[in-house]
Amino acid sequence: MAENGGGRKPLMSGNWKMNHNHLEAIQVVQKLAIRLDDRVLDAVDVSVHPPFTGLRSIQTLIEADKLRLALGAQNCHWEDSGAYTGEVSPTMLAKLSVTYVVVGHSERRQHFDETDEMVNKKVRAVLATGMTPIMCVGETMEEREAGDAQDKVQGQVRAGLEGVSDEQVGAMVIAYEPVWAIGTGETATADDAQEMCEAIRVLVAETNGDDAAEALRIQYGGSVKPDNTAELMDQPDIDGALVGGGSLDPDDFSKIVRCQAPSD
Ligand code: 13P
């Protein structure tokens, strides 16, 4: 089993992005559940993040079959209700028994102009409803090549956690996803990923104290596949993965999840 530094339970999350209609989503979750037994799920938390249209179907499936999978969303607005056409509120997600909400994914920052300030509002709104934000941070290739990666990521972390209590930070998840590794087949090396995740934890220790930093779970994301998961998950400051393409197929995703479980 991959050990991490603080005895944190790993979280493996499947971010399906804009893939799988609600019928396909049901099939994928059914197949995934068959492939993950209690021994694995004792060791690893697993969440699935379908598009909004799949949430109700998957909630019903999880409840009816008592599956040990957590339901996740990919985004939300920060207001509870109002004239925001096309948006979905945190309270609506909480009502669907959503546990985790991805916030500030780089695709939302890039294509939908989400700013650090918006990400912070979303983080606080998600926490206010009792759900757990998975706050995404990461640098572009230009920023990495210019030597600015750590400043960029630490800046995003600092801004995203503004006004969040130390206790709440400790219960959160931060996903380090270098933009250049997303959907490209190019993964950060385990050393580079570890270095950045450690830098995130060090910053959180400064801003929110050692207890929050020790408890905080930090995921790596960006072209995570069955054959590169183990090495990444072996790093002391990496507590799981946020998986895009590799989570769409239940065979692949279950292999990825099992990399975090005790071996036979
Ligand atoms: P890929 O795993 O497809 O690179 O996507 C990563 C990601 O963006 C998960 O949120």
User: Long-range contacts for 59-67 (Cβ within 8 Å, ≥24 apart)?
Assistant: 59/96, 59/97, 59/98, 61/26, 61/29, 61/30, 62/29, 62/97, 63/97, 65/30, 65/33, 67/29, 67/33
Tokens of 100: 């985790």
Which residue among 12, 17, 106, 229 has the greatest number of ligand 1 atoms within 8 angstroms of its CB, and so is best to mutate? 17
- Each residue's pLDDT expressed in tens, for the chain with a length of 264 residues: 334 556 899 999 999 999 999 999 999 999 999 999 999 999 999 999 999 999 999 999 999 999 999 999 999 999 999 999 999 999 999 999 999 999 999 999 999 999 999 999 999 999 999 999 999 999 999 999 999 999 999 999 999 999 999 999 999 999 999 999 999 988 899 999 999 999 999 999 999 999 999 999 999 999 999 999 999 999 999 999 999 999 999 999 999 999 977 665
Give the span between the Cα atoms of 188 and 125, in whole angstroms: 31
Minimum CA distance residue for ligand 1 atom 7:
244
Does residue 221 line the site of ligand 1, with CB under 6 A? yes
Whole-model pTM: value is: 0.96
Give the span between the Cα atoms of 15 and 21, in whole angstroms: 14
Ligand 1 atom with the smallest distance to the CA of 175 is 10
Using CA atoms, how far residue 236 sits from 5, 68, 264, in Å, is 5, 26, 22
Does residue 183 line the site of ligand 1, with CB under 6 A? yes
Domains of the chain by residue range? 11-258
DSSP element (H, E) containing 125 = helix 116-128
Residue 111 annotated as catalytic = no
- Cα angle value 226/231/236 (rounded, 5°): 130
Residue 177 annotated as catalytic = yes
Number of helical (H) and strand (E) elements in the chain, helices listed first: 13, 8
Q: What count of residues does the chain have? A: 264
Does residue 256 line the site of ligand 1, with CB under 6 A? no
Does residue 74 line the site of ligand 1, with CB under 6 A? no
Minimum CA distance residue for ligand 1 atom 5:
244
Ligand 1 atom with the smallest distance to the CA of 242 is 9
Minimum CA distance residue for ligand 1 atom 9:
244
Does residue 179 line the site of ligand 1, with CB under 6 A? no
Given the residues 49, 77, 105, 143, select the one marked as catalytic: 105
Does residue 182 line the site of ligand 1, with CB under 6 A? yes
Give the span between the Cα atoms of 139 and 137, in whole angstroms: 7
**Homologous superfamily of 11-258 in CATH?**
Aldolase class I (3.20.20.70)
